[in-house]
Amino acid sequence: MKLKCIITDDEPLSAEGLSKYIEVIDYLELVTVAQNPLELNKLLESQPVDLIFLDIQMPFMTGLDFLKIKTSLPMVILTTAYSDYAIEGFQLDVIDYLLKPITFTRFLKATNKAKDYYLLKNNKIENPVTAAPDYAFIKCENKYEKIYIGEILFVQALQNYVIIYTSNSKFMTLLPLKTVETYLDKRKFLRVHKSYLVAIAKIDSIDGNDIRIQQHNIPISRNLRDEVIEVVVKSKLMSK
């Protein structure tokens, strides 16, 4: 397996450094280099790729702006000299955020994450969230924790990690929220905010733009509130 990659960076030295890193990693293959998002956009129309290394500050358009307007992108790893955009980057579901100068060790860690996500998404490895109908094992630091799916209250995104809350515990694991959302039953779990996925049956109340699950208050995005009410309340509402 090789992940086909595009580097998008207007700094030749930076692009060259990433190219050399890609050359020595056996599961990566560099397709081409783009100098700005407009060039990248054109290349994506003709070049099937799996992974984009995307700088933020570039001519014509920033990397973040490109992520906001472009749909159906492959995996993205941001590469930048600026740490200020990390939270915004992860909210846009990037795989990782690399600060320049990028060490090989940090680059390898990010690309390993991309490889694992690719294999998971394409069912090449056992799904860590739905390994069995009623429970799953997830990796927390150096051990594997067993979680019963029926005990999950909600899942919270925290940069490139998620925290899975149950009635008695919480578990942090290195997974994007969209991965968890993909592998949980959509009839039982609902995205209510860019950073929260909740178990519908565990919701105790909805007050304005807040959901109450046991002792936890979970925000509802304004643009998702109508959908949440429709799914959670209307079919179960007792009325005249």
How confident is the model at residue 43, as a pLDDT? Answer: 92
End-to-end CA gap in the chain: 60
Please say whether the beta carbons of 173 and 164 come within 8 A: yes
Let me know if 161 is exposed, middle or buried by CB neighbors in 10 A (0-12, 13-18, 19+): middle
* Domain span(s) for CATH 2.40.50.1020 in the chain: 135-236
Let me know if 84 is exposed, middle or buried by CB neighbors in 10 A (0-12, 13-18, 19+): exposed
Q: What is the pTM of this model?
A: 0.55
Closest CA to 173 of 151, 196, 193, 157: 157
| Long-range CB contact pairs, 136-139, < 8 A, 24+ | 138/164, 138/171, 138/173, 138/175, 139/173, 139/174
How confident is the model at residue 143, as a pLDDT? Answer: 80
How confident is the model at residue 39, as a pLDDT? Answer: 94
How confident is the model at residue 132, as a pLDDT? Answer: 41
Check residue 214 and report its DSSP letter.
T
Residue 11 CA to residue 9 CA, distance in Å, equals: 5
Helix (H) or strand (E) holding 87: helix 86-91
Residue pLDDT tens, the chain, 240 long:
799 999 999 999 999 999 999 999 999 999 999 999 999 999 998 888 999 999 999 988 899 999 988 878 899 999 988 777 777 777 778 888 899 999 999 999 999 989 988 887 776 544 454 444 477 778 887 788 888 888 999 999 988 899 999 988 999 998 888 888 877 888 889 999 999 999 999 999 999 899 999 999 999 998 888 888 888 887 677 765
Q: Which residues contact 9 (CB under 8 A, 6 or more apart)?
A: 15, 18, 33, 35, 53, 55, 58, 79
Domain boundaries 135-236, corresponding CATH code: 2.40.50.1020
Domain boundaries 3-121, corresponding CATH code: 3.40.50.2300
Q: Which residues contact 197 (CB under 8 A, 6 or more apart)?
A: 154, 155, 177, 180, 181, 184, 189, 190, 191
How confident is the model at residue 124, as a pLDDT? Answer: 55
* Domain span(s) for CATH 3.40.50.2300 in the chain: 3-121
